[in-house]
Amino acid sequence: MSTANKKWDVALAACDRYEETAVEAALREVLDPIDGLAFVKPGMRVAIKVNLVTAMKPDTAATVHPAVVCALVKMLRERGAEVVIGDGPGGIYSSAYLRAVYDVCGMRQAEKLGAKLNDDFSVQEVEYPDAVQAKHFPYTAYLGKADAIIDLCKLKTHGMMGMTCAVKNFFGSVPGTKKPEFHYTFPRPEDFANVLVDLYEYSAPRLCICDAVVGMEGNGPTMGTPRKIGCLLASRSGHMLDAVAAGLIGLGPDDIPTLRAAVRRGLLPEDFSAISVCGDPGRFAVADFKTVPAQSDVFFHVLGDGLPGRIADFIAGRVITPFPKLDPSSCIGCGKCAQTCPAKAIAMTREKPQINRSICIHCFCCQEFCPKGAMKVGSTWIWRVLKGYFNRRSRQKTA
């Protein structure tokens, strides 16, 4: 089908390797149907918000690959834009810490093409009256100083949100040391999802691009396994991009709280088939992609906000909600999990973490930042039985 004179919501393009010419060709192909860079004018300051969750090498698939960053920088520079690249990963938001992240993640390659790696570590306090949850928050100032923002994310599994992609990427607009406060203040996945949507909507990126050449499955978003998906995605809407990306790895709105929040807020159609897609998502779908359990209070939200829904949430919180689980054989006793736990639910005993389940808020920060992947996403047998039941019902409805 010709893409001429057709408005597309999301576009996909095949890209099977991180080789310079292949990535550049795929990026141009995926941006053309949506006029992705039409907004860029000479002299415009464009901030690329990349996913640099922590200092990990590109081949781990934990961060956006530098080949995709460099291809985008080239195109922006061709249009005369000034380009700054940045993120607010977990940890101290400082020059020393980010310098190490930039180095390990391969971002120095973009400097050679004329981009600047963010060295402005000032923070501005934001008031956002239109927010559902995050009505005021600390915000990385370099994003606020940009004329336009581009969201460059990675497709990965996530312990709390099911998936991290375009919308979740904007948790990195909050300085790293401030992130635990959000987890502690908004422990319910539904509330935290609205925080993420608020951050995304406030930032209002003009373009969203997803690196799904190689994604991360299993124990994501940092210690999972790289898994080839073989494409790039682009959209002017992070919500629509996330909806299509989720389908590639076998997930839907019941699995991803941010998608459900976007639907409720009218930012995403309830029927995802209404999203016009240039390209064939089925070509890149990975049927056996290893995902993580959905958070149960969203899973049971079909029972509504009244008494039945509250009862279901209570039960879910006690016996069904996924939980962080230690693999003792992989644990090195570093104590990183205890240091990053917002609820202070982890104590080190005989150089091994002990989780106080009564105060654990299921944010999975311990799982995300464990350097050895010793913290896993666990689930009860009750959850597995119910999940299978609802999956069967969902397939019957769509058959």
- Shortest CA distance to 276 belongs to which of 10, 35, 31, 14? 10
Query: Rounded distance, CA 92 to CA 71, Å?
Result: 29
pLDDT, position 386 = 60
**Nearest-10 Cα torsion for 339, 344, 348, 354:** -130
Question: Which residue stretches of the chain have pLDDT < 70?
Answer: 1-6, 293-320, 380-399
pLDDT tens digits, 156-186? 999 889 999 999 999 999 998 899 889 889 9
pLDDT, position 2 = 36
In the numeric block, which tokens belong to residue 282? 């089925």
pLDDT, position 64 = 98
Q: What angle do CA 361, 56, 115 make, to 5 degrees?
A: 115
- Asked if residue 252 lies in contact with residue 259, where contact means CB atoms within 8 angstroms, the answer is yes
Which residue has tokens 């985008």?
72
pLDDT, position 301 = 46
Query: Rounded distance, CA 40 to CA 187, Å?
Result: 38
pLDDT, position 340 = 86
- Shortest CA distance to 206 belongs to which of 176, 237, 227? 237
Query: Rounded distance, CA 152 to CA 223, Å?
Result: 20
Ranges of each domain in the chain: 10-283, 296-398
pLDDT, position 298 = 41
Is residue 274 exposed (0-12), middle (13-18) or buried (19+ Cβ within 10 Å)? exposed
pLDDT, position 73 = 98
pLDDT, position 387 = 61
pLDDT, position 244 = 98
pLDDT, position 369 = 81
- Shortest CA distance to 260 belongs to which of 242, 237, 248? 242
pLDDT, position 95 = 95
Q: Which residues pair with 164 in a beta bridge?
A: 156
CATH number among 3.40.50.720, 3.40.50.11440, 2.40.50.140, 3.40.50.980, domain 10-283: 3.40.50.11440
- Asked if residue 16 lies in contact with residue 230, where contact means CB atoms within 8 angstroms, the answer is yes
- Asked if residue 235 lies in contact with residue 7, where contact means CB atoms within 8 angstroms, the answer is no
CATH number among 3.30.70.20, 3.40.50.10860, 1.10.3720.10, 3.40.630.30, domain 296-398: 3.30.70.20
